Homo-oligomer: A and B are copies of this chain.
Amino acid sequence: MHSLQFTAESSSNGTVERDFTVGDVPGVLWSPASDSAERAPLVLMGHGGGAHKKHPAMAGRAQRLVADGGFHVAVIDAPGHGDRPRTAQDEREIAELRAAQAAGEPAGPIVVRYNARLAELAVPEWQATLDALQQLPEIGADGPVGYFGIALGTAIGVPLVAVEPRITAAVLGLMWPDALLEAARRITVPIEFDLQWDDELIPREAGLALFDAFGSTEKTLHANAGKHFDFPRFEADSAVRFLARHLGGSVTSPA
Interface residues of A (CB under 8 A from B): 197, 208, 211-212, 216-225, 232, 234, 238, 241, 244-245, 250-252, 254-255
Contacts and interface: CB of A to CB of B under 8 A. Distances in A.
Given A241-B255, A245-B234, A254-B251, A220 B221 contact: no
Given A221-B222, A222-B221, A223-B220, A254 B250 contact: yes
B222 A220 contact: yes
A173 B82 CA distance: 43
A22 B170 CA distance: 48
A250 B255 CA distance: 8
A218 B225 CA distance: 6
A215 B195 CA distance: 18
A254 B255 contact: no
A197 B213 CA distance: 12
Contacts of A212: 197
A57 B254 CA distance: 24
Contacts of A245: 234, 255
Contacts of A216: 225
A224 B219 contact: yes
A252 B252 CA distance: 9
Interface centre among A217, A220, A245, A255 (most CB of B within 10 A): A255
Contacts of A254: 250-252
A183 to B, nearest CB: 18
A190 to B, nearest CB: 9
A41 to B, nearest CB: 14
Contacts of A241: 255
Contact of A220 (B208, B211, B225, B251): B225
A189 B244 CA distance: 30
A225 B234 contact: no
Nearest to A208: B208
Contacts of A211: 197, 223
Contacts of A225: 216-220
A119 to B, nearest CB: 25
Contact of A221 (B219, B223, B234, B244): B223
